[in-house]
Amino acid sequence: MITLVKGGADCGKSAFAEQLAMESIYKKRYYIATMQVVDEESLKRRERHRELRRDKGFETLEIPSHIEEAPSLMEAPEKCCVLLECAANLVANIMHEDDNMVRHDDEGDDGCEAFVSRVTGLIGSLSKQVGDMIIVTSEYSFDQNMDKETHRYIELLNRVNNELISMADVTYDMGSMSS
């Protein structure tokens, strides 16, 4: 089963998704953290998130982009609940990998479709290998002052989110988009 939890920043989607995972029939829980730790602020954020999850029974796998590796790191993946936190980070991380940046930036809409297919294919493949899959994603709106790369990121994320909505058995919308 695939459950999608989406919404704007600071709307409670992560806590809600964690609660859903704790209620899963699968008692073994994995938390796939896609945030890349690149500076002191992100290090503090990671530690704060770990502390918030400490007593919730999750085994954390820090996998910024290569989520296809996750099942090999799990014990009986078909008998577990996986919380992917979050698809928005995953999109950004894959977008910025050297071998993918040109592909989606220079090929117009075809490049976007290939990128979206790649990301949703990774998520879909993972979901077929686990018992329950809960995906958290963020939503952002366009701003007339944003740079080209940010605009492209939001465009790609919106397309990925639309595909995830169609893949999901259940979707929860936790709140309005942030800018």
Note the pLDDT tens digit of each residue in 117-144: 999 999 999 999 999 999 999 999 998 8
Structure tokens, 25: 């029939």
Report pTM: 0.90
Q: How high is the pLDDT of residue 64?
A: 94
Q: Are 21 and 78 in contact (CB under 8 A)?
A: no
Query: Domain segments of the chain: what residues?
Result: 2-173
Ranges of residues in the chain whose predicted pLDDT is under 70:
98-110, 176-179
Residue type, 17: A
Q: Could you tell me which residues come within 8 angstroms of residue 65 by beta carbon, excluding any fewer than 6 positions away?
A: 34, 90, 93, 94, 97
What is the length of the chain?
Answer: 179
pLDDT value for 179? 39
pLDDT the model gives residue 176: 57
130: number of Cβ within 10 Å: 24
User: Cα torsion for 81, 85, 89, 93, to the nearest 10°?
Assistant: -40
Nearest Cα neighbor of 38 from 15, 62, 61, 59 is 62
Cis peptide before 80 (omega within 30 of 0): no
Superfamily of domain 2-173: P-loop containing nucleotide triphosphate hydrolases (3.40.50.300)
What is the per-residue pLDDT for 58?
Answer: 94
What lies within 8 Å, CB to CB, of 38 at 6+ separation is none
Burial annotation 90-125 (CB, 10 A radius, 16+ → b, else e):
bbbbbbeeeebeebbeeeeeebbeebbeebbebbee
Bridge partners of 121?
none
